[in-house]
Structure 1
Amino acid sequence: MKVQNKVVVVTGGGNGVGRELVLGLLARGASVAAVDINTAALEETLALAGEKRDRLATYGVNITDRAQVETLPNQIISRFGAVDGLINNAGVIQPFVRLKELDYAAIDRVMNVNLFGTLYTTKAFLPHLLERPVAHITNISSMGGFLPVPGQTIYGASKAAVKLLTEGLSSELQGTNVRVTIVFPGAMGTNIATNSGLTALPQAEGNGRSIKMLAPVTAAQLILEGMEQDRYRVLVGSDARLMDALYRLHPQRAARFIAQQMSSLLSK
């Protein structure tokens, strides 16, 4: 779906890749509804929009609150007249610990934001998207959604659920006007650790080299290109492409490789 003159909703629009998605959509001629629990961050996104801010509306919403989410479509339609697209970008990671050390509060938060937040927004907007001549849903999963990462097992489980949710939705919507894209980003240089309530995201090293982080603006460009091309799946970053190929070829070897890279972090 070409986004020019379309109305697109972006969750997690206050920071990182979400903010770059908002700004990228505005640059491509779309109107944008940016959704985030952090209203101060949304104000920063609005300021960065500059002269395009007349095509941007912000909504401070907790996407884990189904009642709040269900009021969003009418609010946005009242502002823009319609909704043509939805990008479910909001997400959090877990503390970098093994499952046995992870408390249930952290587990619930990750599952509620990553899975149920995506589910609630999708359910809320889908009836309206089906009424449009063309429409699109893009859901952000993760490389960790198809490849196990020790220390992020619950995060990976939530993103794997998003993967299957999105793929199932795509199959259900065959023959309709709504296209669906699933995105698998690799390592990105965002402040997701801070936004997840963590002090920092530890950096793994392999063969003496640090993992290269993809810039949020580059990730956003790749995601929007995939959306505009109605691609079924989008791999964002060379690490995501490499591990996707390796995991398809030899799942156990790929899992063992990542476990080796993460072992130093989990031993600290």
Structure 2
Amino acid sequence: MRIAGKVFLLTGAGSGMGREMAHQLIAKGAKVAALDIHLPQLLETKQICSADDTNFLTLEVDISNRAAVLALPDQVIAHFGHVDGIINNAGIIQPFVRVNELSFDAIERVMDVNFYGTVAIVKAFLPHLLARPEAHIVNISSMGGFLPVPGQSIYGASKAAIKLFSEGLYTELKDTSVRVTVVFPGAIATNITGNSGVEVPSSPGSSGMVALPATDAARIILAGMVNNQFHVFVGSDSKFMNILCRIAPEFATNFIRKKMKALLG
């Protein structure tokens, strides 16, 4: 799907990959309804994009608030006239602890934002996307959505749910004008830990992973959308682990366990 002249709803636009995607979308001639729970960060994104109200709509919304999400299409269409695509980028991680030590409040918060928030956005906007001659849904899963990461089991479950939800949407919408892409980022240089209110445990070792700059991740994701890709693997780690998981799933699971073991003690 081409970008120029299109209107996109982009969640998690206040920082990281979301901010970079907003910047690149605006630079390519799109209009962006930028959503985030943190208003000051959204306003910084708007300034960085050198955008104004004609091509950038600021939406301070918690996507786990279903009533607020269901009100979004009317706001976006009132401002831009229509909507052509949604990019579900907003997400949080869990505290770096085992499931046995994780509270139900933390579990529910991760699922409410990562899974139910994404589902609510899709449900709210899909009727409007189906009315467009060309439309696209991009859902951000994670490398953790196909590879179990100790200390992030609930986060991984939420992202695995996004994977299958997106693939199901793809099949349901195959004969319509709406395309679906699901994205699997590996280690990306973002502030997801801070935005999630989670501290990374200190560790004498290192996971050995080199984080891909958010600018590069955004470019890869948008190229995947333009090319109507089904799956987009972002980063060499995501590409490698996808192959390894398919060839030797138990070995891959133990491999990442050894990499992450120092974080859990």
Separation in 1, partners of 2:42, 2:86: 17
**Could you tell me which of 205, 210, 213 is aligned with 2:211?**
213
Counterpart of 1:89 in structure 2 is: 89
Q: Output one character per residue of 1:163-219: Cα deviation in whole Å (capped at 9) or x when no partner.
A: 00000000000110000000000001100000001234767625xxx3100100100
Counterpart of 2:154 in structure 1 is: 154
Q: Indicate the SS of the match to 1:205.
A: coil
1:49-128 counterparts in 2 under 5 A? 49-51=49-51, 54-128=54-128
**Could you tell me which of 249, 253, 258 is aligned with 1:255?**
253
1:230 Cα shift? 0.4
Q: Indicate the SS of the match to 1:138.
A: strand
Q: Indicate the SS of the match to 1:54.
A: coil
Separation in 2, partners of 1:51, 1:69: 24
TM-score by length of 1: 0.96
Separation in 2, partners of 1:244, 1:213: 17
Separation in 2, partners of 1:201, 1:231: 36
Separation in 2, partners of 1:50, 1:134: 27
Decide whether the 8 Å contact of 2:96 with 2:200 is kept in 1. Answer: no
Q: Indicate the SS of the match to 2:232.
A: strand
**Could you tell me which of 218, 230, 233 is aligned with 1:232?**
230
Q: Structure 1 residues 54 and 241 mapped into 2: Cα distance closer, same or farther (>3 Å)?
A: same
Counterpart of 1:19 in structure 2 is: 19
Counterpart of 1:181 in structure 2 is: 181
Match for 1:191: what amino acid?
N
RMSD over aligned CA atoms reads 1.2
Decide whether the 8 Å contact of 2:245 with 2:252 is kept in 1. Answer: yes
1:11 Cα shift? 0.3
Counterpart of 2:142 in structure 1 is: 142
1:155 Cα shift? 0.1
Match for 2:129: what amino acid?
L
Name structure 1 gaps, 5 residues minimum.
Answer: none
Match for 1:109: what amino acid?
R
Name structure 2 gaps, 5 residues minimum.
Answer: none
Separation in 2, partners of 1:87, 1:201: 31
Q: Indicate the SS of the match to 2:182.
A: strand
Q: Output one character per residue of 1:100-139: Cα deviation in whole Å (capped at 9) or x when no partner.
A: 0111111111000000010000000000000000000000
1:50 Cα shift? 1.3
Decide whether the 8 Å contact of 1:36 with 1:60 is kept in 2. Answer: yes
Match for 1:118: what amino acid?
T
Decide whether the 8 Å contact of 1:47 with 1:53 is kept in 2. Answer: no
Decide whether the 8 Å contact of 1:46 with 1:53 is kept in 2. Answer: no
TM-score by length of 2: 0.97
| Equivalenced residues, count | 264
Q: Indicate the SS of the match to 2:118.
A: helix
Q: Structure 1 residues 233 and 73 mapped into 2: Cα distance closer, same or farther (>3 Å)?
A: same
Separation in 1, partners of 2:29, 2:226: 12
Separation in 2, partners of 1:248, 1:41: 39
1:53 Cα shift? 5.8
Q: Indicate the SS of the match to 1:34.
A: strand
